[in-house]
Amino acid sequence: MSDKKATLSIDGLAEAVELPIYSGTLGPDVVDVGGLTARGMFTYDPGFVSTAACESQITFIDGNKGVLLHRGYPIEQLADESDYLETCYLLLYGELPNKAQKEKFVSTVHRHTMVHEQIRTFFNGFRRDAHPMAIMCGVVGALSAFYHDSLDISDEQHRQVAAFRLIAKMPTLAAMSYKFSTGQPFMYPDNSLNYAENFLHMMFGNPCEPSNISPVLSRAMDRIFLLHADHEQNASTSTVRLAGSSGANPFACIAAGIAALWGPSHGGANEAVLEMLEEIGDVSRIDEFVARAKDKDDPFRLMGFGHRVYKNFDPRAKVMKESADEVLAELGLENDPLLAIAKRLEEIALHDDYFIEKKLYPNVDFYSGIILKAIGIPTSMFTVIFAVGRTVGWIAHWNEMISGSYRIGRPRQLYTGHVMRDYVPLQERK
Ligand code: ACO
């Protein structure tokens, strides 16, 4: 915080309005516009392009430089040296765990991986062809009907247990949503496996054979979870905060986050990338699609390109690209035709004036889809996997908000509808 001030002169107001300016540890200063309401004015910022909705200590992004820090640690270092559950600890508690803390955290997550048996029955209410994100919205929200002992948001212990339950059960529910669509039996978690291995075991295993999980693939899966763990106040995290600000329980809030993540402008983009690559179908058709992306009259966009905050390479995309190379080499898929399209598309976009001018770089979703496809994950599960990884970020932000002082989130509007008018009885209407 600082004692800097902004002065705003408003037409029709004799006195200028003084607005306090606050400085964070990194990033742009913010102007506190709260005082404007008393002058009968609101600020107007559709899409929250220049609005800081809260104060937070979890994640920092410098979009121009392509920097992403979790609790101060660069994402590249975490991706190289840490693992998903350790990063979860960091996001939740603010510091990296020591050895004993890490062991305790990991074993607590492992002890919460099973879901209430009645949840299996709950799945039967869905159609077999339901999109797994539709199932996740429903089932995660329904957890609040199963775990009544972790719903008191004013109790720190309840919040902790809810956090463990959500982080631990998301992979189980995600795998169940896939198994349900295939008609195969749900797999119980195997707590001797690490987080990513366990997810792959529940996705691809069956009760008749032992699971055989490649360490390269489980490492790539862990990295995907880690790279998606948090991204400050994105659409889904802001949704979780907004839902939480009304006092809603954590399971309901995370279900709201899952719903917000689903759209193709956010988490749904990884699924959309693969669909787009399949639609392009051949390297020879790339120019046609690039031309469409540049055409103002065509709504088509190159999926996996562009980001609201990054106007430089998304640092997660760089790491994801490395993982994609490792996974494709491990699986002998270096000559995969979709990968060839992806690589050529990336090359063209990085050298095309339109994409350069608008600073549209490949984002994390561009490469994650390629890895997931190579691992054998069906396209419809891509966004679900994003949701599994992002759960910890949602909880960390929700918990940060609930543990501090907060008010219900209630934006205002610029009203452009009818002015007041009298009701017209039905028989008098034209
Ligand atoms: N292809 C072609 N043109 C694009 C693209 C794209 N992928 N993205 C943005 N543009 C153009 C827009 O047409 C616009 O052009 P204009 O100024 O001439 O009107 C300009 O770039 C700015 O775009 P906006 O939509 O205003 O940018 P915004 O910050 O609102 O949107 C978003 C960011 C939603 C990510 C956008 O770039 C997009 O739709 N990308 C494709 C979907 C995608 O990959 N989403 C994943 C985001 S990352 C994540 O959630 C993990």
**Does residue 2 have a pLDDT over 80?**
no
Give strand pairing partners of 17.
8
Task: Write the DSSP string, 382-404.
Answer: HHHHHHHHHHHHHHHHHHHHHHS
CB 253, CB 144: distance < 8 Å: no
Does residue 364 have its Cβ closer than 6 Å to ligand 1? Answer: yes
Give me the mean pLDDT over the 338-342 stretch.
87
CA distances from 35 to 7, 142, 174, 277 (A): 12, 40, 45, 49
Q: Using CA atoms, how far apart are residues 345 and 72, in angstroms rounded to an integer? A: 33
Does residue 360 have its Cβ closer than 6 Å to ligand 1? Answer: yes
Known catalytic membership, residue 307: yes
Does residue 303 have its Cβ closer than 6 Å to ligand 1? Answer: yes
Q: Using CA atoms, how far apart are residues 381 and 374, in angstroms rounded to an integer? A: 13
Q: What sign for the dihedral angle of Cα 94, 96, 97, 102?
A: positive
Tokens for 388, please give them: 């599994």
- Whole-prediction pTM value? 0.92
Give me the mean pLDDT over the 188-205 stretch.
97
Q: Using CA atoms, how far apart are residues 180 and 115, in angstroms rounded to an integer? A: 15
**Does residue 1 have a pLDDT over 70?**
no
pLDDT tens digits, residue range 392-406?
A: 999 999 999 999 999
Give strand pairing partners of 18.
7
Lowest mean pLDDT among 43-47, 179-183, 324-328: 324-328
Q: Using CA atoms, how far apart are residues 130 and 45, in angstroms rounded to an integer? A: 36
C-alpha count within 13 angstroms, C-beta hemisphere, residue 388: 30
Query: Which atom of ligand 1 lies at the shortest distance from residue 305's CA?
Result: 7
Known catalytic membership, residue 110: no
Known catalytic membership, residue 158: no
**Position 353: which residue type?**
D
pLDDT tens digits, residue range 286-320?
A: 999 999 999 999 999 999 999 988 988 899 998 99
Residue 194 has what DSSP assignment? -
Cα 305 to ligand 1 centroid, rounded to whole Å? 7
Query: Quick one: pLDDT at residue 286?
Result: 93
Tokens for 405, please give them: 């002082």
Cα 271 to ligand 1 centroid, rounded to whole Å? 16
